[in-house]
Chains A and B, each alone.
Chain A
Amino acid sequence: MNALSIIIKREFSSYFATPLAYVFILVFLVLSSAFTFYLGQFYERGQADLLPFFNFHPWLYLFLIPAVSMRLWSEERKTGSIELLLTLPITLWDAILGKFLAAWAFVGLALVGTFPIWLSVNYLGQPDNGAILAGYMGSWLMSGAFLAIGCCMSALTKNQIIAFILTGITCLFLVLAGFPMVLNFFESWVPSLVLDLITGLSIISHFIAISKGVLALTDLVYFFAMMVLWLYLTHLALAAKAAD
């Protein structure tokens, strides 16, 4: 076991030492089911797939992921335990990746907890289970991108509320970037190259492709690139101002 896995283990179990884990999982399961069955008209559609389930994940993650990520570094800064962690003989990357991967695994666990919906759809019809698996993958990748953003915002401030809001707003922008209302706003005054870039940044367009069962390389690259970028920014932020 190396330093990274020890950090992951500690971080992961710390979720279950407080009510946070149970509250998060409960809220996630209740809301994702409620959205699927009521707003998503799971039954009324008469189709054996989980699109109505996955379609709401970006919106659900918008406020649930910042709730998980806000404490990652803010709390360490506030209590001063960051000083303890970063004077242990580990690298800064061990600490950053350890926290991130533990949070990502935790959200993955919450996703796995939604399996009754998968059981239901299999009971009701013959869905394309490959597409459903791809949908789960896409959702998990998206949560990873959100968490990486949250990691970075949390590294910037001692205040968890600020970390929550900054993460939420950044993620909201990325979710909305592909929507006409945002694109129309930019359309009139930015070059089309920039407009393409904004569209390309949109989490939604990449997620929708995957949730329909199409695992394209560009979408995978997009999500991993997001994670790498934001974790790198986290590293920069911590290296520059861990002590503030």
Chain B
Amino acid sequence: MIKVSHLVKQFGPLTAVNDLSFEVGPGTVLGFLGPNGAGKSTTMKMITGFLTPSSGQVSIHGHDIVAARQAAQTRLGYLPEGAPCYEEMTVKNFLTFIAEVRGARGTVRNQWVDRATDTVSLRKVLDQRIETLSKGYKRRVGLAQALIHDPDVLILDEPTDGLDPNQKHQVREMILSLSDQKIVIISTHILEEVSAVCSRALIISDGQIVLDDTPQGLRARAADHLAVSLKVDGLDPEALKIACQALSECERVEIAEGGLVTVFPVPGSSGLLMALQMLIADKGWQVAQLQQHEGQLDEVFRQVTLEAQR
């Protein structure tokens, strides 16, 4: 269990984190979402004990991060932003060093290194210097060091930033494959990542939590959540618009360039697609295109972060 209460960090006149409170229990992958400079990294740096909070508390499994820093830090693994490590070392020496600092000796240490190596597939480059590795491999080295002691809590600051789509996929698979007993906190500004790996998302703006919800819950806040786009052969978009507006589930209709008609549902209603399908069957239209929208996360993101800044 991680408890963050009334966390504040000030850098001179600037308040980077402003009275942040939340709790996370085991089995949660929590996503920190927010624009650059929103205070995501600063919050993570305080949770991991790198920065001392100006005020407020962080406790990790009951250990206060300021009063019992080392006890708390033994329970967590941390991937700092950009996955920094000692680049002049070989992967094996680096992981061995981290394992030793974390208290493993002899065969236990070797087991830890082996397990971390296999979890993130580093076997091929074990004897290479980290500086010679590609960005994707470097990120995996960073993940391996965070995972090496099989911690209960994993804090990953932008774990997929700068990776290509295949590498992003691998990292997400890895996060998902971690035991459901762990607490994982990741920060990201990539919205698809939230729906891909997170079970809960916090949107942070100007150092404050502006939204705390599941990824599905976030989507439901989008204006186009459950809206339906359609195009009918041989029917003028204007005529289609008028026909759709007659439906009781329809709030409004927009016509995009190219003649695609999008019907937005009355908030709270869920029968729009069904109603449209009945309408289509009724009129005998030849449908060229029909698509229901789940809701654009980035729209929700923009909406809540801009509102918060205002």
Which residues of A does B touch, CB under 8 Å? Answer: 1, 3, 6-7, 10, 13-14, 17-18, 79-81, 83-84, 86-91, 242-243
Contact = CB atoms under 8 A, between A and B. Distances in A.
A128 to B, nearest CB: 42
B45 A80 contact: no
A6 B102 CA distance: 10
A210 to B, nearest CB: 35
Contact of B101 (A79, A83, A90): A90
Interface of B: 45, 48-51, 69-71, 73-74, 76, 78, 80-82, 84-89, 93, 97-98, 100-103, 105, 129, 145
Contact of B84 (A80, A90, A242): A80
Nearest to B97: A10
Given A7-B101, A91-B70, A243-B45, A80 B81 contact: yes
Given A7-B101, A89-B102, A84 B81 contact: no
B50 A14 contact: no
A80 B85 CA distance: 8
Nearest to B48: A87
B50 A86 contact: yes
A84 B85 CA distance: 7
Contacts, number: 65
B102 A88 contact: yes
Given A14-B88, A90-B101, A83 B74 contact: no
A17 B88 contact: yes
B182 to A, nearest CB: 17
A83 B48 CA distance: 9
Contact of A81 (B51, B78, B85, B102): B85
B73 A1 contact: no
**Interface-central residue, A3, A14, A83, by most chain B CB under 10 Å:** A83
B98 A81 contact: no
Contacts of B80: 80, 83-84, 87
Given A1-B105, A83-B45, A243-B50, A88 B98 contact: yes
A83 B50 contact: yes
A6 B97 contact: yes
A208 to B, nearest CB: 38
A7 B98 CA distance: 10
Contacts of A88: 73, 98, 101-102
B100 A89 contact: no
Contacts of A7: 101
A173 B253 CA distance: 79
Given A6-B101, A87-B48, 14 more contacts: A6-B97, A7-B101, A10-B97, A14-B86, A14-B89, A88-B98, A88-B102, A89-B69, A89-B70, A89-B73, A89-B74, A89-B103, A91-B70, A243-B51
A90 B50 CA distance: 12
A79 B78 contact: no
Contacts of A242: 50
A35 to B, nearest CB: 31
A79 B81 CA distance: 11
B50 A81 contact: no
A213 to B, nearest CB: 40
12 contacts: A7-B101, A14-B86, A80-B80, A80-B82, A80-B84, A83-B78, A88-B98, A89-B70, A89-B71, A89-B73, A89-B103, A243-B50
Contacts of A83: 45, 50, 78, 80, 84
A10 B145 CA distance: 15
Contacts of A81: 84-86
A87 B73 contact: yes
A225 B41 CA distance: 39
Contacts of B105: 1
Given A14-B86, A18-B88, A1 B100 contact: yes
Contacts of B48: 87
A79 B70 contact: no
A17 B102 contact: no
A155 to B, nearest CB: 15
Nearest to B71: A89
A84 B89 contact: no
